[in-house]
Amino acid sequence: MAVKLTSLEVMGDAPVIPVIVLTEVAHAVPLARALVEGGIRMLEVTLRTPVALACIEAMAREVPEAVVGAGTVRSAADAQAAAMAGARFAVSPGYTQSVGKACHDLELPLLPGVATGSEIMAAQEDGYTALKFFPALQAGGVAMLKAWQGPFGDVKFCPTGGITGGNAGDFLRLPNVVCVGGSWLTPPEVVARGDWAHITQLARQAAAVHRHG
């Protein structure tokens, strides 16, 4: 039986959680292996394509050293389907009580998406203090996270949305940021041509990004 994780453990495992969009199940397992080889174990597979759940299932079954999660979880049904497929954590673009309760009942660690103070407070009321800041760049970026340090000093964030290898370090230097989420580790054209060595190289670079002390 897989060890149960907390949301903070999911965020703290590596500096970057790759945000993965897959259109072919055949790519799932070699991609997961390439990322793990590069030192990235927490893999967020977004529920944005018809094959996403099948990809989660294949990764969870074939790559046990990976910790596969589901992204773009927008309903209790999404959370249930993700858990059934073998997901060990969930990430949502926003926050609702029904998604929060579903993940709590399923014992599925959730990184709820927030972009405003009110959303942070709603998530906190339901016991969530490790949150995804989304869409990070469009919602205020580094300046917004700095502003939140005062009123929400007990909250930890994973900024996602507009994060790249070039600006990840700016976010990771903030004391309230544990990791970032980004799609730059899995460029669609690299995945399409099956260049797994390149994916491993990107993962290694991401795993080595310096976090605040």
Cα–Cα nearest to 203, from 38, 29, 12: 38
Asked whether residue 194 carries a pLDDT value surpassing 80, the answer given is yes
Q: Of the listed 24, 125, 132, 156, which one is catalytic?
A: 132
pLDDT at 213: 56
- The average pLDDT across 5-34 equals 97
Instruction: Enter the pTM of the model.
Output: 0.97
pLDDT digits (tens, 9 = 90+) for 27-74: 999 999 999 999 999 999 999 999 999 999 999 999 999 999 999 999
Query: Would you kindly state where each structural domain of the chain is located, as residue ranges?
Result: 8-207
Residue 2 burial (C-beta neighbours within 10 Å; 0-12, 13-18, 19+): exposed
Q: Of the listed 24, 37, 44, 189, which one is catalytic?
A: 44
Peptide bond into 135 cis (omega under 30): yes
pLDDT at 38: 98
101 is catalytic: no
Mean of the per-residue pLDDT values of the chain: 97
Residue 188 burial (C-beta neighbours within 10 Å; 0-12, 13-18, 19+): exposed
- The average pLDDT across 148-164 equals 98
Query: pLDDT category, 2, cuts 50, 70, 90?
Result: low
- Per CATH, the homologous superfamily of domain 8-207 is Aldolase class I (3.20.20.70)
4 is catalytic: no
